């Protein structure tokens, strides 16, 4: 039985730019103790032993034609302690985001490489 997600990976072009976004703006801590691979990258620690893996590799996906709203694109949903505090940090950093179209207390943004992220304090899947 699958219990949880161990990590999610994002392809990034510039590690320093990505670390400023993920570590400084989103305040996700860098894990310096992860093994190195044959390519550059970084591991970021989330709660419950889950991680984000940033990989500096060629991206085969174009950012052209992606939906403006990240909720209508492939994305990773992250739970946060204080949604409005994060919204303020994103605004101060000049990062655009859009509120959930469903009316949930959630919003979406893109990282410097166009990867979509969702943020919410609680996640209850929509009822059909």
Q: Which residue has the tokens 């620690």?
A: 45
4-48 pLDDT, tens digit per residue, is 889 999 999 999 999 999 999 999 999 988 778 889 999 999 987
56-102 pLDDT, tens digit per residue, is 999 888 888 888 888 889 899 999 999 999 999 999 999 999 998 88
Calpha distance 97→70 (Å, rounded): 9
Neighbours of 97 (CB within 10 A): 17
The span from the first CA to the last CA of the chain, in angstroms, equals 25
**Model confidence at 126, in pLDDT bands (50, 70, 90)?**
low
What is the value of pTM for the model shown? 0.88
């Amino acid at each position: 039985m699958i219990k949880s997600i161990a990590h999610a990976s994002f392809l990034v072009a510039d590690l320093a730019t990505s670390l400023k976004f993920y570590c400084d703006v989103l305040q996700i801590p860098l894990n310096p103790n992860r093994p190195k691979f044959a390519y550059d990258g970084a591991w970021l620690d989330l709660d419950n032993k889950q991680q984000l893996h940033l990989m500096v590799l060629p991206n085969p996906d174009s950012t052209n034609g992606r939906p403006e709203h990240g909720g209508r694109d492939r994305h990773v949903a992250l739970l946060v302690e204080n949604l409005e505090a994060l919204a303020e940090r994103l605004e101060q950093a000049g990062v655009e985001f859009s509120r959930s179209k469903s009316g949930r207390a959630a919003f979406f943004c893109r990282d410097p490489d166009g990867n979509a992220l969702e943020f919410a304090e609680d996640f209850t899947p929509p009822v059909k």
